[in-house]
């Protein structure tokens, strides 16, 4: 298995190399070149030893079945995206985030923009990617996780109305159509709101040691709920020690379950302690 993987782009900015380290990152060697540039998320398969998945910005998901020595695209079932960026035509599969669900057998691939989320049952060797349903108002999915009991949680971003105003914390804001966070107990067929839609949630994770603990962050703050799929908008507790606008990733402390680490865009990494229930 790989000890570490890092990403390196070549001079063209379109393809790059996958490197492998077997000494904790002291030295690196190239194992494969000319992979689509922009690797964003690496997941080690807990079911199939030696299998590794990587999300890319344009080439979809790549898979290695030999511990990271060779890689091939693994996108069967995914829909190719076609977009126009400032007059430039783009065609590819952009993976914004690659997540292993807490059930240890579901791989979630979040597409960039409005293209949705796909899931893969890594415990089934014949499985292909399947799109997770979402409500019509959920135009984007910024983050998603699957708890150990199979419950899905999603942060769809905040979408506001084009006209009208309402008061929120003393400020006049556009009425919110959809935002906050949602839960689904039937793999996306139906969704229920569980967090204030006026707060733009950017990251969301369930705890690996307790299926009822949910963390989320946005609007310069972090929150936690201990009620799992029964969570309502009133069940969240604000966490102290975090004040930054752009949380990017929530990581649990492997030794202390009462601590999480939050990485950010531009604000470094924060250590946050969880309150007592």
DSSP 244-261: -S-EEEEEE-SS-TTEEE
Q: Long-range contacts for 239-245 (Cβ within 8 Å, ≥24 apart)? A: 239/272, 239/273, 239/274, 239/275, 240/272, 240/273, 240/275, 241/270, 241/271, 241/272, 241/273, 242/217, 242/270, 242/272, 244/220, 244/270, 245/219, 245/220
Here the tokens at position 94 are 């952009």
Question: Is the pLDDT assigned to residue 11 strictly greater than 50?
Answer: no
Q: How far apart are alpha carbons 205 and 197 in whole angstroms?
A: 17
75 secondary structure, DSSP code: -
pLDDT of residue 234: 94
Averaged pLDDT score across all residues of the chain? 81
Q: How many CB atoms lie within 10 A of CB 259?
A: 14
pLDDT of residue 152: 92
Q: Which has more confidence, 261 or 142?
A: 261
Q: How far apart are alpha carbons 5 and 202 in whole angstroms?
A: 26
Q: What is the pLDDT of residues 223-248, one digit of tens each?
A: 999 999 999 999 999 998 888 878 88
If DSSP codes are grouped into helix, strand and coil, which group holds residue 88? strand
pLDDT of residue 177: 58
User: Using CB atoms within 10 A of its CB, is residue 57 exposed (0-12), middle (13-18) or buried (19+)?
Assistant: middle
**Neighbour-count burial for 128-151, b at 16+ CB within 10 Å, e otherwise:** ebebbebeeebebbbbbbbbbebb
In percent, the amount of the chain with pLDDT more than 90 equals 25
The residue ranges of every structural domain in the chain are 132-277
- State the pLDDT confidence band at 141, using cuts at 50, 70 and 90: confident
pLDDT of residue 9: 43
pTM for this prediction: 0.77
Here the tokens at position 271 are 């250590």
Q: What is the pLDDT of residues 168-226, one digit of tens each?
A: 556 665 555 567 899 999 988 899 999 988 888 888 999 988 999 999 998 788 999 99
pLDDT of residue 10: 45
Q: Do 237 and 275 meet the contact criterion of CB atoms below 8 Å apart?
A: yes
Question: Is the pLDDT assigned to residue 136 strictly greater than 80?
Answer: no
On the CB side of 101, how many CA atoms lie within 13 Å of its CA?
Answer: 26
Q: In the 3-class helix/strand/coil scheme, how is 168-228 assigned residue by residue?
A: ECCEEECCEEECCEEEECCCCCCCEEEECCCCCCCEEEECCCCCCCEEEEECCEEEEECCH
Question: Average pLDDT, stretch 28-49?
Answer: 78
């Amino acid at each position: 298995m790989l000890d570490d993987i890092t990403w390196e782009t070549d001079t063209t900015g379109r393809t790059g190399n996958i490197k492998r380290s077997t000494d904790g990152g002291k030295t690196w060697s190239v194992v494969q070149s000319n992979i689509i540039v922009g690797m964003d998320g690496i997941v080690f398969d807990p079911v199939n030893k030696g299998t590794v998945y990587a999300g890319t910005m344009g080439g979809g998901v790549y898979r290695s079945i030999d511990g990271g020595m060779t890689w091939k695209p693994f996108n069967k079932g995914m829909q190719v995206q076609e977009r126009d960026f400032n007059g430039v035509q783009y065609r590819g599969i952009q993976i914004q985030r690659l997540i292993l669900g807490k059930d240890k057998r579901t791989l979630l691939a979040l597409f960039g923009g409005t293209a949705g989320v796909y899931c893969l049952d890594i415990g089934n060797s014949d499985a292909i990617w399947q799109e997770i349903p979402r409500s019509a108002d959920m135009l984007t999915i910024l983050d998603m996780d699957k708890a150990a009991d199979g419950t899905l949680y999603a942060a769809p971003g905040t979408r506001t109305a084009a006209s009208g105003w309402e008061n929120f914390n003393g400020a006049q804001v556009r009425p919110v159509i959809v935002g906050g966070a949602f839960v689904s107990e039937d793999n996306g067929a139906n969704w229920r709101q569980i967090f204030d839609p006026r707060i733009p949630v950017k990251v969301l994770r369930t705890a690996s040691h307790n299926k009822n603990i949910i963390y989320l962050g946005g609007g310069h703050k972090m929150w936690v709920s201990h009620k799992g799929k029964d969570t309502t908008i009133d069940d969240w507790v604000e966490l102290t020690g975090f004040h930054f606008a752009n949380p990017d990733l929530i990581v649990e402390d492997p030794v202390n379950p009462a601590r999480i680490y939050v990485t950010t865009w531009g604000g470094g990494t924060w250590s946050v302690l969880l309150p007592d229930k």
